[in-house]
Amino acid sequence: MTALDVKNEARPRTVPVAPAAAKPPAKRRRPTRLLLDALPPLAVAGVVVAGWYAATYLLLTPQRRFLLPPPHAVVQKGLFDAQARGEIFHAVLSTARVAAFGLVIASLLGITLAIAMSQARWVQRSLYPWAILLQTVPILAIVPLIGFWWGFDFRSRVLVCVLISLFPMITNTLFGLQSVPSGLHDVFSIRRVSRVSRLVHLELPAALPSIFTGLRISAGLSVIGAIVGDFFFRQGDPGIGRLIDNYRAQLASEQLFAAIFASSLLGLLAFLLVGAIGNRTVGRWHDSGRRRP
């Protein structure tokens, strides 16, 4: 070994250092993100209000403006008037109670029927056509029969909610249960897992996104069913549907528009509440709950 070799071995070797990983971009602050999310619907709302004012003052004569009162008149007589505000608030609470009962019953019944259909083909062939038939029958056609058979009170209004919101729960839950990848079923079959364990630990967790999709749809439909029931079943605690009909008969257009907006807000709140619960439940592990860039 020469002196040059000894000198080279004594020199400390430099180890290549990998370049530092780029830091992920800082997350947007939550208030900023909420503001960005709220800007598009607020912009659309501004366009709608501007068009509303234009239709009221440019297309209608002063004698016909009761057909489409301006937004500030609706707010003034529908929200700032104590009597109208109390009537609308009480009616919305009554309708919300009916819709909540109907949604809970429809959810439990729909999930149960979907589980039964997913476990046996003969059950699906026997029940699914009747579920489709129930969806195709106009609800207004059978509401009078419900009144004849069950009365015209709270129970009939809840039944209307169940009938109108049951089908989405059945179809979405059944789709989720039957959409489990076959590879996961093979793993459970290799381990000789029982049918009940397979349902509890594989099929139901995989079907949760579809179940909450059905819940979002059924939440809005349940509110619609409660309002429809109010129009026909005029016994018991009055709801927003009966109040809308009363304002229509009195030609109280400002209060009528305020009641319609209140009913729409109730459906929106039901949708958002179910969506928030769904995001909390499946958002941490399923792609549907992750925010897109």
- The pLDDT tens digits for 97-107 are 999 999 999 99
Tens-place pLDDT, residues 123-134: 889 888 888 888
This prediction has a pTM of 0.78
Residue 290 has pLDDT above 70, yes or no: no
Q: Dihedral sign for Cα 222, 133, 203, 179, please.
A: negative
pLDDT, residue 170, reads 93
Q: Which helix (H) or strand (E) holds 139?
A: helix 139-150
Identify the band that residue 18 occupies on the pLDDT scale cut at 50, 70 and 90. Answer: very low
Identify the band that residue 286 occupies on the pLDDT scale cut at 50, 70 and 90. Answer: low
- Cα(200)–Cα(290) distance, rounded to whole angstroms? 24
Evaluate whether 260 touches 220 at the Cβ level (below 8 Å): no
pLDDT, residue 11, reads 53
In a domain, 87, yes or no: yes
- Cα(258)–Cα(58) distance, rounded to whole angstroms? 22
pLDDT, residue 275, reads 86
User: How far from 206 is each of 180, 201, 210, 287, CA to CA, in Å?
Assistant: 6, 9, 8, 12
In a domain, 70, yes or no: no
Give the length of the chain: 293
Task: Compare 8 and 152 and report the one with higher pLDDT.
Answer: 152
In a domain, 217, yes or no: yes
Pair of tokens at residue 90: 């009480």
Residue 179 has pLDDT above 90, yes or no: no
- Cα(85)–Cα(161) distance, rounded to whole angstroms? 25
In a domain, 141, yes or no: yes
- Cα(152)–Cα(83) distance, rounded to whole angstroms? 27
Task: Compare 42 and 122 and report the one with higher pLDDT.
Answer: 122
Q: In this structure, what is the dihedral angle of CA atoms 41, 213, 273, 108, given to the nearest 10 degrees?
A: 160
Pair of tokens at residue 282: 């499946």
- Cα(156)–Cα(150) distance, rounded to whole angstroms? 6
Residue 153: which domain range? 82-281
Domain count along the chain:
1
92-96, 158-162, 189-193, range with the lowest pLDDT: 189-193
Q: In this structure, what is the dihedral angle of CA atoms 238, 239, 244, 246, given to the nearest 10 degrees?
A: 0
- Percent of the chain beyond pLDDT 90? 22
pLDDT, residue 144, reads 82
- Cα(50)–Cα(56) distance, rounded to whole angstroms? 10
Give mean pLDDT, residues 37-55: 84
pLDDT, residue 172, reads 93
The DSSP code sequence of 184-243 is: HHHHHHHTT--HHHHIIIIIHHHHHHHHHHHHHHHHHHHHHHHHHHHHH--SSS--HHHH
pLDDT, residue 107, reads 94
In a domain, 292, yes or no: no
- Cα(235)–Cα(229) distance, rounded to whole angstroms? 10
Residue 292 has pLDDT above 80, yes or no: no
In a domain, 55, yes or no: no
In a domain, 9, yes or no: no
In a domain, 97, yes or no: yes
Neighbours of 91 (CB within 10 A): 25
Give mean pLDDT, residues 207-236: 87
User: How far from 175 is each of 39, 179, 224, 242, CA to CA, in Å?
Assistant: 35, 6, 24, 37
Tokens 């959409």 sit at which residue? Answer: 179
Tens-place pLDDT, residues 238-272: 788 888 888 888 888 888 999 899 999 999 999 88
* CATH for 154: 1.10.3720.10
Under 8 Å CB-to-CB from 235, ≥6 apart: which residues? 151, 152, 153
Identify the band that residue 4 occupies on the pLDDT scale cut at 50, 70 and 90. Answer: very low
